[in-house]
Chains A and B, each alone.
Chain A
Amino acid sequence: DIQMTQSPSSLSASVGDRVIITCRAGQPIGSYLNWYQQKPGNAPKLLIYAASDLQPGVPSRFSGSGSGTDFTLIIASLRPEDFATYYCQQSSSTPLTFGGGTRVEIK
């Protein structure tokens, strides 16, 4: 199984801050990396697929980059509705595996 490691596991930030979340794969996965946002009590929502492609309807303040083993999700200017938990997921091979999540909290 491909292990996915996210960092940090949590962070505190203010509205307007630039937020960077990283995800490392245990082996090269090309660009087979997706990012999801989950708010408490809700299902996950796809933000970014193929490492850097923005899902239609997702605000442009979200961006993704990386390939191989190291990936980054950036929120350019944090908004109140962005406080949530973010997960990366590799889709290079089954079993699909998720990172442990990064909880973004209000400072």
Chain B
Amino acid sequence: EVQLVESGGGLVQPGRSLRLSCVGSGFTFDDYAMHWVRQAPGKGLEWVSGISWDSGSVGYAASVKGRFTISRDNAEKSLYLQTSSLRVEDTALYYCVKDGGSRLFPSRSALDIWGQGTMVTVS
């Protein structure tokens, strides 16, 4: 079974940092680009960041650029999101998401496998 499991969320004060992690299983992790997508309570989906299979290409939404850093460790089948200078508006459920068909970032593939999310509350 293809699975993504996130961890690392929690309650944090504004201005502080948090590192989110995601472990993939059931697929060849380094065959795919990976993404983070977030959802504020009661709101819609917002793409946050993406990374190519080899970490050679990364991208960020304007709302987090300069504050968040995406990375991955293919040997550990893990994806990370280092968040810093957190704001109240960063409060959201953060999903780890597998790219639907490409090693490359950016790609034009859909986002085909989603984890259950890890909640970040900035207050």
A binds B: no
